[in-house]
Structure 1
């Protein structure tokens, strides 16, 4: 296996692992936050506006972690910084 094929395989595998593991944590965190918010809404219906607003801000912050993992995986697949190194090794 030449170096370009190795870098391609390593990039694809790493991107898959990044998406897989990077989406598990935010999914569990969002589920836990939603369950806690629903419990709080059931106990204090008068504070629904405050709880909902805080929930949405928290969900956006948690979701940003999954978005960062997605961006890293897209960089590894489409704009891999190691390709220049691989092409230099093949040419030289």
Structure 2
């Protein structure tokens, strides 16, 4: 029972970290697009790929518990 609680805490921390990471990715992408509007397509593509990988880690943490 104790190990299950620690697993849930660990999964929660991973999900919280993923949330912060997604926020950081979004803010950095918006800042980059504001500075170089002509590179918006490349920045957006890279942001979506990184965000998808990060969400995959969060989902894996959820399903591992």
Structure whose CA Rg is larger: 1
Moved over 3 A (4+): none
TM-score, normalised with respect to structure 1: 0.57
CA offsets per residue over residues 34-90 of structure 1, 9 Å max, x none? Answer: 21234xxxxxxxxxxxx3xx4212211123222211110010001x1xx5xxxxxxx
Q: CA RMSD in A?
A: 2.0
The unaligned stretches of length 5 or more in structure 2 are none
Q: In the aligned structure 1, how far is the partner of 2:52 from the partner of 2:19? A: 9
The unaligned stretches of length 5 or more in structure 1 are 39-50, 84-92
TM-score, normalised with respect to structure 2: 0.73
Question: What's 2:28 paired with?
Answer: 29
